[in-house]
Amino acid sequence: MSAPVHVALRAVTPADLPAFHAVMMAAGMDPRSSWSRVTVADLQASLFAPDAGGLVAQTEAGVVGVVGYRPDGPRTLTLNKLATVPTVRGQGVGRQLVEAVEAHARAQGYGRVLLAVSQYNLDVLPFYEGLGYRRSAEAYAHAHPASPPPVVLVKELP
């Protein structure tokens, strides 16, 4: 891991949607993934749904990382859309975003954070496992029907 980059984390706003989308597209997801078909309008609907939200990580140069979240039942907050631009990979931005979602989940009374990893993005599994996420056999309620079933990871919150 390179030296950590200093970022300011803040809640996503509607004005951030083009930058949020640009970071997701710059992340380099396999084009077979449903991720590559996400539009700014999709982000608007997802990030601003009731009790949902997201964060952006910003440097002087602009938005370099993003993450979304949404409730899935009374006990589970689902983390989604985590992405960083390639120039900050390995510098702790993704970790800071995940930890911020976990802190939000705790503050809102959720007992766990769940996420799904696309079959086209399995290289990220060690990152999440290093943060304490464990594989789960449960189905992912938001899986895209045209995509292979994702790998579901869960972290119980203390």
The structural domains of the chain, with segments of one domain joined by +, span 8-156
Per-residue pLDDT of the chain (158 residues; tens, 9 = 90+): 566 778 999 999 999 999 999 999 998 888 878 878 899 999 999 999 999 999 999 999 899 999 999 999 999 999 999 999 999 999 999 999 999 999 999 999 999 999 999 988 899 999 999 999 999 999 888 887 878 899 999 999 98
Choose among 157, 156, 153, 106: nearest CA to 127.
Answer: 153
- Can you count the helices (H) and strands (E) in the chain? 4, 7
Residue located via tokens 């056999």: 137
- Reported pTM: 0.93
State how beta strands 62-71 and 134-136 pair.
unpaired
Tell me how far apart the alpha carbons of residues 37 and 59 are, in angstroms, rounded to a whole number: 27
**Distance, C-alpha 38 to centroid of its chain:** 14
Q: Please give the order of strands across the beta sheet that includes 151-156.
A: 8-11, 53-59, 62-71, 76-84, 112-117, 151-156, 134-136
* Token code pair at residue 84: 């960083």
Q: Confirm or reject CATH 3.40.630.30 for domain 8-156, answering yes or no.
A: yes
